[in-house]
Chain A
Amino acid sequence: MQDPKSGLKGTEQKLSVTTIPHVITGEDIIAWLLNKMKVTQEEAQACGTMLVAYGYVYPLQNHRKLLMCNDGSLYRFQTWVAEDCDYAIYLEHYNHLNQWLNHQWDFIVMQATEQYKAGKERQKPDRVVLDCQERAYWIVNRPPRGTHSAVDYGVDRLMDQNTEEKISFDQYRRMNIFYQQAIMRSKVKSSVSLGALVKYVSSYRNHDPFLTPCLPSNPWITDSDTFWTLNTRRVDVPTKMRVERWSFSFFELLSDQRGRDDFKSFLKKEFSGENLAFWEAAEEMKWGAASSMSTKAAAIFKTFLAPGAPRWINIDGRTMGLTVKGLEHPHRYVLDGAQTHVFLLMKKDTFFRYLKSPVYKEMQKKAMNPDLHNFSESQLQQNARSRSLGVHPIVLWTQDEEERAKAAIAATPVDVKAMMSKIDRKK
């Protein structure tokens, strides 16, 4: 930027009566940025403001406001050299700038020496300028409240660039262990993995509110929360878009509670609900409180794994053996193998049968497709005045908990003997 040929030229400028040397107007700086970086007017102005805010360039007139104005306001490059320690803070940013301001440092040093030499025999206009310069420097370094600063940087980070890294033998061993497994790790060709990223984007394109307007409208834009009320967890008739998303992947189906419910009703018709129930129980154990782990493990063993269990799951003997043995000393991840097995079974088989089933087909037919909202200006203002409060998540959570408690009671296997004795007593 200060390159003598391609950079900005500081010239003498007249300000009312005094003449100020080596200054640049805001207009010129912005024009230079525009030309050099091929950016928009707005961005060039923002970039200029950054230079001012961080003190690389300082304003000569308006010191209170650290802004770059696109007019005849006068600016100068910061040439005030502070003590080393003060300056060190800036170095990180300075390095970035240095890449395209690489003439600056020599310039600074040169001018600083010159200025010190010039010292006492300074003329009056010079002194005024110097004053501005110093003030600008201290504004940047010891900022009054509310102005920008790079000094209040936050927390010191541990990493010290200057100390050489000493690596001990155990660290080398750890690195070698890591490298060996990283080398052996199965990788796929870039064309395959990147192709998958592109495919994901194209299937979700119409579901991304930033790319395709959502139906009926984006609540943040129209202040109408219909989009949210149509997409609540326990809505009876879901939207077409939502039902379509369930078909994208098994994960997508399971992560939407409404989708999971629909999948459950399919499993119920198939009499094969135990796999999903086991998967859910294993999830709960994995992510649940540590204190409840042993009771959960016992319950899972009794319901799904014990010989003759009411919801016995069908997994291979080896996995079953490992899991049952592991349950003697329960651990959060003891069900991992069995859970993966069951999950893959559902993902590779049940999920596709669900997508072809009448349950899903009917849901597709039933699903609604809301019309695009077309609010008038006055309606929009009305919406903004009466934004709906919605239902608080705590309320929803309480409802969910009650529901789960009910479902748990309903799912408890009936103790036939107890029932019989009750019936006997009634007689």
Chain B
Amino acid sequence: MCDQTFMAITFGPCDSCTKTSPLMNIYLKSEPINYCSFCVEMMACQALQSGESLASLRTESDVLKKKLEEERSKLHDVELHQVAEKVELVSALSIRTRRVLKGHGNKVLCMDWCKDKRRLVSSSQDGKVIVWDAYTLNKEHAVTMPCTWVMACAYAPSGCAVACGGLDNKCSVYPLSLDKNENLAAKKKSVAMHTNYLSGCSFTNSDMQLLTSSGDGTCALWDVESGQLLQSFHGHTADVLSLNLAPSETGNTFVSGGCDKKANVWDMRSGQNVQSFETHDSDINCVKYYPTGDAFASASDDGTCRLYDLRADREVAVYQKDSIIFGASSVDFSLSGRLLFAGYNDYTINVWDVLKGNRISILFGHENRVSSVKVSPDGTAFCSASWDTSLRIWA
């Protein structure tokens, strides 16, 4: 957990308009001020002042960028593999496919675990969303969406509803029921609305709020009951492809990654972009927090996965290999944060040692791209979804 994000005053009277609202903690000429998002926006959009030009702003920007890099490198005293030198090696893993879930008619694009550790929801290119009991292999519900390419789905924390969306630019919530024959589509509720495809969605700490990311370059927080937009997050300059909520005690931040090769960390309360990292060479397909919430991993089309430490404020590891030439689509950590499971477009899943940076194992089984990899809530297994229309549970 980043203490600073946690400790900063984020609610109170705005220094500019005095209205009580969530505040952004910004600096003007190194003086800390607290402005509400509206006043920050006004400040950014006001006309050019005397003595100010596009060129002068650009120079200022370059100077600041350089200064930031300097600040970051000052504290860069050691590399991760050096710190981890004395840690013992991971013994050989015996991970095998334990279940194969078949039932989708086309590419499986996304999946999410239920908190009960055995159920999951998956969505596919043909518009089908299936709720499975992966343990017994039972299909509990199947819903057909009115669109193809359902790229995002999420299980509610209570286990009583699922959310999904894709090319319909919406995120819809379906309450689940114990009666398998009930028509879920009748209870469908459209919650979020974007101007381009939905790429990711996640419930926050309750069933009542949804966080979404979209091809329109924004992320947004929604009230499920009313469909009201609670907060939007602007800052990416291209499609946002993935988001992940911080697992920390406050849960006030989340990270997003997109086609602008950037991974941004946001304060959910004020909508402020508090940290940003741009070291990938191509689109970032997936971002995932380290279990402590102090770091996160990313998977990119450039064929690498990377680890960023939020407190050190920099990239601390790159997971790559000459023989891996296809993009990485998805990542997730094992319960202890030691292993990083990464799904690739070359149909494989690679298991990386997070601390030492080397690959421990490669898993074959899928017959097409791996689209999503997620570890179960208690860490006993992970599930991979693939374009070969199946899902596999590995343990």
Contacts and interface: CB of A to CB of B under 8 A. Distances in A.
B354 A201 contact: yes
Interface string A175-212: 11111111111111111111111101110110111110
Contact of A184 (B27, B45, B204, B226): B27
Nearest to B116: A393
B197 interface: yes
Question: Number of contact residues on A: which range applies?
Answer: 35 or more
Nearest to A34: B323
Given A170-B44, A291-B225, A205 B99 contact: no
Contacts of B30: 180, 184
Interface string A329-351: 10111101100100100010000
Interface string A373-402: 000000000000001011011111100000
Contacts of B292: 196-197, 200
The B interface, classified by DSSP as helix, strand, loop or mixed, is: loop
B203 to A, nearest CB: 9
A183 B68 contact: yes
A186 B4 contact: yes
A210 B362 contact: no
16 contacts: A43-B348, A97-B325, A172-B54, A181-B26, A181-B274, A183-B27, A183-B67, A187-B313, A194-B78, A197-B290, A200-B337, A207-B335, A207-B336, A209-B395, A289-B223, A393-B116
Given A38-B323, A185-B313, A200-B291, 9 more contacts: A170-B44, A176-B60, A193-B311, A200-B292, A201-B338, A228-B117, A290-B225, A347-B249, A390-B116
Interface of B: 1, 3-4, 6-7, 9-12, 20-22, 25-28, 30, 32, 40, 43-45, 48, 54, 57-58, 60-61, 64-65, 67-68, 71-72, 75-80, 83-84, 87, 90, 93, 95, 98-99, 114-119, 133, 135-136, 149, 151, 158-160, 167, 176-178, 196-197, 204-206, 208-209, 215, 217, 223-226, 228, 230, 235, 237-239, 248-250, 259-260, 269, 272-276, 283, 290-292, 294-295, 301, 303, 309, 311-314, 316, 322-323, 325-326, 334-339, 346-348, 354-355, 362, 364, 368, 378-381, 393, 395
Interface of A: 33, 37-40, 42-43, 46-47, 50, 92-93, 96-97, 99-100, 148, 154-155, 157-159, 165, 167, 169-170, 172-198, 200-202, 204-205, 207-211, 214, 218-221, 225, 227-228, 231, 250-251, 254, 283-284, 286-291, 322, 325-326, 329, 331-334, 336-337, 340, 343, 347, 387, 389-390, 392-397
